[in-house]
Amino acid sequence: MEYRKKKWSDTWHWCKNCSNWPTSDYDVRYTKPTSGELCNQCKSKEKDGECK
């Protein structure tokens, strides 16, 4: 799983189909981030089984 966060944001995304998925100027993690916020849209996609 790849987690991405915009440099100036505290919100981590992990669904590539999230409308806020960062494509430039982002930090990347390959483990679940321990700081910052987790994106609500990514959370709901994951819950619905739509996280890609």
Q: Which is nearer to Zn ion, 19 or 34 (CB)?
A: 19
Q: Which residue has the tokens 């430039």?
A: 24
Q: Which listed range, 2-10, 14-22, 25-33, lies at the site for Zn ion (CB under 5 A)?
A: 14-22
Q: Can residue 41 be called a binding residue for Zn ion (CB under 5 A)? A: yes
- What CA–CA distance (Å, rounded) separates 45 from 52? 8
Pick from 13, 36, 44, 47 the residue near Zn ion by CB under 5 A.
13
Q: Can residue 45 be called a binding residue for Zn ion (CB under 5 A)? A: no
- What CA–CA distance (Å, rounded) separates 33 from 50? 21
